[in-house]
Amino acid sequence: MSIDRFISDAFSQWLEATFDSQRVRAIEQDGADPADWQAVSDSGFADLLLAEQYGGAGANLETVGEVLQTCGACALPLPLATTMWVRAALAAEGHELLPASITLTRGQRVEKGVKCHDVAFAATAEQVLVLLDDGAWLLPVADAQGADAQRGTGLSVDLYWKTFPASALKLKQPHDWEAIGAALFAALIAGAASRVLKLSLNYAAERQQFGKPIARFQAVQQQLSVLAEEVYAVRMAAQLALRGNGLAVDPRLAALAKARASQAVSSIGAIGHMVHGAIGITEEYDLQLYTRRLHDWRLQLGSERYWQQRLGQALLDSELPVLDFMRGLTGSG
């Protein structure tokens, strides 16, 4: 299975033209305009994963993974990744598809309602797939009280439904949505990380100190090399999890991808900012669009330790030596 470059290139051209960094900032500050999601709907990219029999593109996960990395690399503030998956699942269950944007989170039932903590894209999503003990439920964001008052400078929002919405829809197919979500966030991290590398390389070549570009200083070069290594590792980890056809993601590979991607965030953020000096701390400069998201996505659905624990337990339970466990994960082709 390989990446369909025709699709992934078309997507990145479309995305860069439609959501530049000024638009991203505006959405972050004032919320999304209905026209924003409309543009995504009209583009057809939300139906990349939807099977062809339902009118979608039926793209493989390699291609979708590449598209998600582009979303991360453009800091797209809309939940395109999760929407693709949930639409494909809804269609397979025979539901009518509405053009809503859908995010995904874990939640807890409290008394008569539902509480969700740190929901990514909650500020722009119309619906949330909430993973509860009794399954995955699609809830309308409009019915929830956003705990915006407690919101700091993060990008995610707490949501609280006082009473369980009557319109809530339960997905019947037993997908491992937590694993799917983990793989998606790993791909988003890979994309944002690659943008941090790109910005840092450009800046290092431009910025002059002591009469030469800072890229000429060995200390800076060595750090940029480490940054490149981490970016390559995260991209590979995300690719390992997103392979094949259909919606399913191997939970062990999802754990691997999210563990490796989240682990890389700290050094990627640190080196990106080191290279930029003070300008990188400003609102005006784009670096923050990516590093703030990296820190948010690192924690989404669990940070590295959570997923390392899951993967480590799978290794222990497998009774296999490490090489065989790894080969079982990656397979041969």
Q: Which residues bind another protein (CB under 8 A)?
A: 3, 201, 204-205, 215-216, 218, 220-222, 224-226, 228-229, 232-233, 235-237, 239-240, 243, 255-256, 259-260, 263, 304-305, 307-313, 315-316, 319, 321-323, 325-327, 329-333
Q: How many CB atoms lie within 10 A of CB 20?
A: 13
Six token digits for residue 172: 């019947």
Q: Is 143 helix (H, G, I), strand (E, B) or coil?
A: helix
Six token digits for residue 13: 């051209």
CB closer to another protein out of 91 and 257: 257
Tell me how far, at minimum, the Cβ of 190 lies from another protein, in Å. 11
Pairing of strands 102-110, 127-132: parallel
CB closer to another protein out of 166 and 219: 219
Tell me how far, at minimum, the Cβ of 306 lies from another protein, in Å. 9
CB closer to another protein out of 1 and 98: 1
Sign of the torsion angle spanned by Cα atoms 302, 308, 313, 314:
positive
Six token digits for residue 124: 């722009």
CB closer to another protein out of 224 and 287: 224
Contact 127, 102 (CB under 8 A): yes
CB closer to another protein out of 117 and 216: 216
**Burial level of 156, CB count in 10 A (0-12/13-18/19+)?**
buried
Q: Report the distance separating Cα 269 and Cα 59, nearest Å.
A: 32
Tell me how far, at minimum, the Cβ of 178 lies from another protein, in Å. 15
CB closer to another protein out of 47 and 304: 304
Q: Is 277 helix (H, G, I), strand (E, B) or coil?
A: helix
User: Residue 146 — left, alpha, or beta (φ > 0 → left; ψ -120 to 50 → alpha)?
Assistant: beta
Q: Report the distance separating Cα 51 and Cα 68, nearest Å.
A: 18
Six token digits for residue 205: 């070549």
Tell me how far, at minimum, the Cβ of 181 lies from another protein, in Å. 17
Give bridge partners of residue 132 from the DSSP assignment. 135
CB closer to another protein out of 60 and 103: 60
Q: Report the distance separating Cα 254 and Cα 22, nearest Å.
A: 32
Tell me how far, at minimum, the Cβ of 21 lies from another protein, in Å. 23
Q: Report the distance separating Cα 48 and Cα 41, nearest Å.
A: 11
